[in-house]
Amino acid sequence: MNTVPQPTSPNPDAPAVEPSTDALGTTAAQARSAVLEKLIPKDPGRFRVLTGDRPTGRLHLGHYFGTLHNRVRLQNLGVDLFVIIADYQVLTDRDVADNLTGHVEELVLDYLAIGVDPARSTIFTHSAVPALNQLLLPFLSLVSVAELNRNPTVKDEIAHSRQSSVSGLMFTYPVHQAADILFCRANLVPVGQDQLPHLELTRTIARRFNDRYGAGGAVFPEPEALLSPAPLLLGTDGTKMSKSRGNAIGLAADADETARLIKGARTDCERHITFDPAGRPEVSSLLLLAALCQDRTPQQLADDIGSAGAAALKRTVTEAVNEYLAPVRARRSEYARDRAHLRRTLREGNERARAVADTTLAEVRAAMNSHY
Ligand code: TRP
């Protein structure tokens, strides 16, 4: 049974965007995203978003301000939100996905805590949707090895992978992402600019499939990137906040742990606090974090703190984060006590995703003349 309405592509009459000259197409994507941001509140029902995470551990503040709160914003505007827990994708850069069930449950808790509403949105695990995965084979036939080789983000991931050789899974993962997006005919994908090459490949796959099998019609929409102005938060050691670097402040960390982590955060030896992201990245990232929590500008906060120095800055950041996250953390522990609800959320999300995927696969097989 498919009870989910299938949205159509975004408005084809929308103003065209100037061709971009930058390598990733960031300028064009930014301009188009600004147009999309105006269209979404006017007609949210026309949009379906797919986005997600790998279950490799709990989410942190970098995730939250980078992508998570944007998902909830879109959901609350009335957009149909699909959140994939990309469990197979964990295996792209490591041999074995450890504690998978635990990490999946932690992700669901994080989602529920920040306000993803399973009554409106679909949270599902990749491996639970066979028809999604079956799209991979025809999709692989639509891309060349040379195209996969050229993907700058895959190159980068390969460079940072902990494996000595590149697996076929890693090499082909932009194609899996295409299946993740196209199985539910999502037409909007919130991304950071490093993900633009993947989305471009998804669009190419959709277009080639339609050209080859669509008999004049479109089986798949060409999804668009929604570039969100994601603030780059640094971890406590001054490098990008990341689970694997041990420098992250977890959404689920308690108030004391948060205080301890921020107390230990790197700053610099200049006493007077100023907002200067290029010259003083660590201090500026702390200001930015507090500013995001308090809905103020980092400059205002810097002016307030001024010569009170790094200790005062850290007190301000700690209070801001703890106050901001208090309701999220309270909801999280409530949900954590109700494991049955957690499992039901995932089961229902998986059922819904399977129904959507079955419908799409049936159409794909019909289009490919392989519906026996
Ligand atoms: N690659 C994303 C991550 O590393 C998760 C993901 C899987 C995803 N499939 C996707 C994101 C499709 C956007 C679209 O966390």
**Are 309 and 342 contained in the same domain?**
no
The residue whose C-alpha atom lies closest to atom 9 belonging to ligand 1 is 177
For the residues 118-133, what does the mean pLDDT come to? 98
Burial of 41 (0-12, 13-18, 19+ CB in 10 A): exposed
Q: Running DSSP on this structure, what letter comes out for residue 15?
A: P
CA-nearest residue, atom 1 of ligand 1:
53
> Are the beta carbons of 162 and 92 closer than 8 angstroms?
no
Residues 289 and 353 in one domain: no
> What does the pLDDT read at residue 18?
42
Position 14 scores a pLDDT of 44
Measured CA to CA in angstroms, residue 286 lies from 61, 248, 251 at distances of 12, 12, 16
pLDDT digits (tens, 9 = 90+) for 216-231: 889 999 999 999 777 8
Q: How many domains does the chain have?
A: 2
Residues touching ligand 1 (Cβ under 6 Å) are: 50-54, 84, 86, 89, 177, 180-181, 189
* Ligand 1: centre distance to CA 22 (Å): 24
pLDDT at 3: 41
Q: Tokens representing 32?
A: 């188009």
Are residue 140 and residue 223 in the same domain, yes or no?
yes
The pLDDT, as a whole number, for residue 46 is 97
**How many C-beta neighbours within 10 Å does residue 257 have?**
12
Distance of alpha carbon 217 from alpha carbon 179, whole angstroms: 19
For position 230, what pLDDT does the model report? 74
CA-53 nearest atom, ligand 1: 15
Query: What's the rounded Cα separation, in Å, for the pair 40 and 42?
Result: 5
- Among candidate residues 254, 253, 255, 194, the one with its CA nearest the CA of residue 225: 194
- Ligand 1 centroid–CA 302 distance in Å is 35
Establish if 279 belongs to a structural domain. yes
Could you tell me if 204 and 29 are in contact, meaning their C-beta atoms sit under 8 angstroms apart?
Answer: no
Q: What average pLDDT does range 134-148 have in this prediction?
A: 97
- How much is the average pLDDT of 304-319? 97
Residue in 48, 49, 54 to alter for ligand 1 test, most ligand atoms within 8 A of Cβ: 54
Indicate if 266 and 360 belong to the same structural domain: no
Ligand 1 atom at shortest distance from the alpha carbon of 89: 7
With cut-offs at 50, 70 and 90, classify the pLDDT of residue 151.
confident
Pocket test for ligand 1, best of 70, 82, 89 (most atoms within 8 A of CB): 89
Residue 271 and residue 167 share a domain: no
Distance 276 CA to ligand 1 centre (A): 32
Question: 112 and 60, same structural domain?
Answer: yes
Same domain (yes/no): 70, 158: yes
Q: Are residues 342 and 329 in the same domain?
A: no
Examine residue 95 and state whether it is found in any structural domain, yes or no: yes
In this prediction, residue 17 carries a pLDDT of 44
Whether residue 182 has pLDDT greater than 80: yes
Which of these, 357, 315, 338, 289, lies nearest to 136 by C-alpha position?
A: 357
Among candidate residues 50, 71, 72, 83, the one with its CA nearest the CA of residue 186: 50
pLDDT tens profile 19-40: 445 767 888 889 999 999 999 9
Rounded Cα distance, 139 and 147, in Å: 13
Q: Residues 131-137: what's their mean pLDDT?
A: 98
Q: What digits encode the pLDDT tens for the residues 255-272?
A: 999 999 999 999 999 999
pLDDT for 232 = 82
Q: What confidence category does residue 12 fall into, taking pLDDT thresholds of 50, 70 and 90?
A: very low
Band of pLDDT at residue 10, cut at 50, 70 and 90: very low
Which residue, judged by its Cα, is nearest atom 8 of ligand 1?
52
Domain identity same for 167 and 275: no
Cα Dmax for the chain: 75
Amino acid at 273: I
The alpha carbon of 201 and the centre of ligand 1 are apart by a number of angstroms equal to: 14
CATH number reported for the structural domain that contains residue 282 in this entry = 1.10.240.10
Token couple for 192: 């950071």
Distance 178 CA to ligand 1 centre (A): 10
Residue pLDDT, tens place only, 70-121: 999 999 999 999 999 999 999 988 889 999 999 999 999 999 999 999 999 9
Question: Among candidates 122, 225, 105, 116, which has minimal Cα distance to 183?
Answer: 122
Distance CA 305, CA 273 (A): 6
Q: Judge if 190 and 308 occupy the same domain.
A: no
Range of the domain at 299: 255-335
CATH number at residue 194: 3.40.50.620
Q: Ligand 1 atom closest to Cα of 199?
A: 14
Average per-residue pLDDT for the chain: 91
Edge-to-edge strand ranges of the sheet holding 122-125: 122-125, 80-85, 48-53, 188-191, 224-227
The reply to whether 170 and 280 lie within a common domain is no
Does 92 share its domain with 193?
yes
